[in-house]
Structure 1
Amino acid sequence: MADGTLYDRLGGEPAVGAVVSEFYDRVLADERVSHHFEDVDMADQRSHQTKFLSAVTGGPMRYEGDEMAVAHEGLAITDAEFDAVAGHLDDALREFDVDDADRGAVLEAVEAYREAIVEGA
């Protein structure tokens, strides 16, 4: 594994932004989860997600959105939906040739938020 933060190894803001764009293209094409984004400003959502992933991977950007539980309150997100979205993130990371260890680290960082995102978790 290369030196530096996970954010640095991913390629910094441009690479994280590209992964987020690919990720949301996949999510929005998936009828299992796309309904959660029907009334969402996707440019804003992509920006928030880029900041969030940057923050959890050790980057300089700060995520200043709502707390995860507040942001996802009332959306009735299930474990299966969380898993589907996490799968799309993994696939997007693979699309950009992120190595196994770094992909695992990103997914582990996101997994830490499952309880705040999934209703009833």
Structure 2
Amino acid sequence: MSDTLYERLGGEDAIAAVVDSFYDRVLADEQVAYYFEDTDMQKQRAHQTQFISSVTGGPVDYTGDEMESAHAGMGITPSEFGAIATHLEETLAEYDVPEEDREAVLEEIASYRGAIVTAAD
């Protein structure tokens, strides 16, 4: 199969829809919602769509901050990272993304774990 993960996910519009639902879940989760209290969520959703599009092989260059600098000082713990990943996995499942592709997306995100998680539980 020569399709990229980006193409299998349905491209940018489909990824944007997943990101919107994903952030709805995140913002409803008191464990992690406070991270976004002072965040321009329209901008955040656009950045996340761009990021996921980029790391899944789409024709998109991610122009946001490097992961380490973007998350510096936030004190994100392993369990908070896990909560976010769970919301992403559940959202992808809600959009009928096959398990193999969900795992591939989560592996891409997990590769940034070291740059995002900066505090112990």
Q: How does the TM-score come out when normalised to structure 1?
A: 0.97
Deviation, structure 1 residue 3: 3.6
Structure 1: runs of 5+ lacking an equivalent: none
Match of 2:86? 87
Stretches (4+) displaced over 2 A: none
Deviation, structure 1 residue 120: 4.5
Structure 2: runs of 5+ lacking an equivalent: none
Q: Percent identity?
A: 59
- RMSD (Å) for aligned C-alpha atoms: 1.0
Q: How does the TM-score come out when normalised to structure 2?
A: 0.97
CA displacement 1:53-108 (0-9 Å, x = unmatched): 00000001111000000000000000000000000000110010000100000000
CA distance in structure 2 between the aligned counterparts of 1:52 and 1:69, rounded to whole angstroms: 14
Contact 2:89–2:106 (8 Å) recurs in 1? yes
CA distance in structure 2 between the aligned counterparts of 1:68 and 1:87, rounded to whole angstroms: 19
Q: How many residues align?
A: 120
Match of 1:101? 100
Match of 1:39? 38
